Amino acid sequence: MAEYYNLIKYFHYLCFISWMAFLFYQPRLYVYHAENMDKPDFVRVVEVQEYKMYHYIGWVALIGTFLTGILIIVAMPELLRSGYMHVKLTVVVILAAFHLDLGRYMVQLREKRCKKSGMFFRAYNEVPTIAMVIIIWMMVYKPF
């Protein structure tokens, strides 16, 4: 497995970038949705985008990120002895919870039960940015 480490890491990066793109864009769709509830034709288009992004891009990228991440740890289990890896994995769990929360908001918006504003989703959209900064910092500098 160790001989495939770089290839696995390559696919891990591709999946992670795809997942982050989803996590950045999905809340932006919710901003448009929340701010245009009075325009049913526009909302229908946004709902299709939300659904496709969540189910066809978001989940595939999350699963790919997790599977390749697990393979990296199987190939190099000593990574789990590093403090920076524990921080990274904790942030990944937070991102997974954020991902699930995006699904909850998608359903609430579609059913017109969501009370959150466009301003809320603009602020909420900063969560994956902060998480990404922490993850990349940990992986580049390995501070502990």
Q: Are 9 and 72 spatial neighbours (Cβ–Cβ below 8 Å)?
A: yes
Domain total of the chain:
1
Give domain status of residue 28, yes or no: yes
Say if residue 88 carries a ligand binding annotation.
yes
Q: How many CB atoms lie within 10 A of CB 88?
A: 21
Give domain status of residue 90, yes or no: yes
Query: Does residue 133 carry a pLDDT above 90?
Result: yes
Report the predicted TM-score, pTM, of the whole model to 2 decimal places. 0.96
Give domain status of residue 144, yes or no: no
The answer for residues whose C-beta is within 8 angstroms of residue 35's C-beta and 6 or more apart is 117, 118
Residue 59's pLDDT is what? 99
Task: Give the span between the Cα atoms of 94 and 132, in whole angstroms.
Answer: 11
Name the one residue in this structure whose structure tokens are 């937070």: 94
- ∠ CA 120-128-80 to the nearest 5 degrees? 145
- ∠ CA 109-61-122 to the nearest 5 degrees? 40
Write down the mean pLDDT value for the chain: 98
Residue 1's pLDDT is what? 75
Give domain status of residue 94, yes or no: yes
Query: Does residue 138 carry a pLDDT above 80?
Result: yes
* DSSP conformation class of 123: H
Q: What is the pLDDT of residues 56-71, one digit of tens each?
A: 999 999 999 999 999 9
Q: Which domain does 92 fall in, by range?
A: 2-139
* DSSP conformation class of 55: I
Task: Give the span between the Cα atoms of 89 and 95, in whole angstroms.
Answer: 10
- pLDDT-based confidence at 2, cuts 50/70/90? confident
- pLDDT-based confidence at 34, cuts 50/70/90? very high
Q: What is the pLDDT of residues 79-106, one digit of tens each?
A: 999 999 999 999 999 999 999 999 999 9
Give domain status of residue 115, yes or no: yes
Residue 106's pLDDT is what? 99
Residue 58's pLDDT is what? 99
Q: How far apart are the first and last CA of the chain?
A: 26
